[in-house]
Amino acid sequence: MPPRSTKRKSAPPNSSSVTSSDGRSVSSKAKTKGMEKVDRLFNTYANSSLNMIDPDGIEALCSDLGVDYTDVRILMFAWKLKAEKQGYFTLDEWQTGLKALGVDSLSKLKKALTELENEVVEPSNYNNFYSYAFRYCLTEEKQKSVDIESICELLNLVLGAQFRSQVDLLIEYLKVQNDYKVINLDQWVQFLRFCQEISFPDLENYDADQAWPLILDNFVEWMREKHKC
């Protein structure tokens, strides 16, 4: 065995300062490579003429992820991307969203969807996601309301797992009532507040004087009449 050197070795250079032969830092090259993978994944599903992932591309993505096109996790994914147009993901949205999720491959994205569910249900995020779900359904310019049929589907999608009883009866009411053809954002937000705050199904703490929207006053009246029958 050779004798141990008495000369102290210098500390290894910090990884953030290591440079390659082309002068770029290794960490910078790794980030670039990661973004290239993100872009390649985008191009796998994008419509080349639109330079966007369109509904067909999203359906193909869902198939490869093993989730249904109507799965709430796809809506959560759109929320994470901050997608502005329903059924379409731009390259900027895709890059921003995947960077926030810390993924650059299909396998990582599949795993991230499960983690995203946990992120969304956090109180600090859920109200934002719930409002986003409504805005995501505004497909026309200057549109401010959503038709009853779509609202029923959306209620089931975003609230059904947490508030099954309330959602089932609210959907039943919305389908039989004739006063409202569409729902606006304020009414939509109040549906969530109702589910979170009002004891159900007795409705004992519901107070019509607390500035609830008329549609919920009507729903409560319908519920009480239903209970009497």
Q: Phi/psi of residue 85, each to 5°?
A: -115, 125
Residues 133 and 222 in one domain: yes
- pTM of the predicted structure, to 2 decimals: 0.83
Domain edge (last residue) among 121, 149, 176: 121
Position 163, amino acid:
F
User: Which of the four pLDDT bands, split at 50, 70 and 90, describes residue 16?
Assistant: very low
Rg (the chain; Cα; Å)? 25
Of 63, 90, 68, residue with least CA distance to 78: 90
Domain count, the chain: 2
- Please indicate, yes or no, whether residues 174 and 218 belong to a single structural domain of this protein: yes
- The CATH number of the domain where 206 resides is what? 1.10.238.200
Distance, in Å, from the CA atom of 119 to the CA atom of 167, rounded to the nearest integer, reads 22
Tens-place pLDDT, residues 120-142: 999 889 999 999 999 999 999 89
Q: What are 106's two structure tokens?
A: 């299909």
Residue at 13 is within a domain: no
Alpha helix stretches (DSSP H) within 69-206: 72-81, 91-101, 106-120, 123-135, 148-158, 164-176, 185-197
Task: Choose one of 87, 121, 155: the last residue of a domain.
Answer: 121
Range of the domain at 93: 31-121
Residue 181 lies in a domain: yes
140-170 pLDDT tens trace: 989 999 999 999 999 999 999 999 999 999 9
Q: Which of 121, 138, 154 is the last residue before a domain boundary?
A: 121
Residue 100 lies in a domain: yes
Mark whether 64 and 90 lie in a shared domain. yes
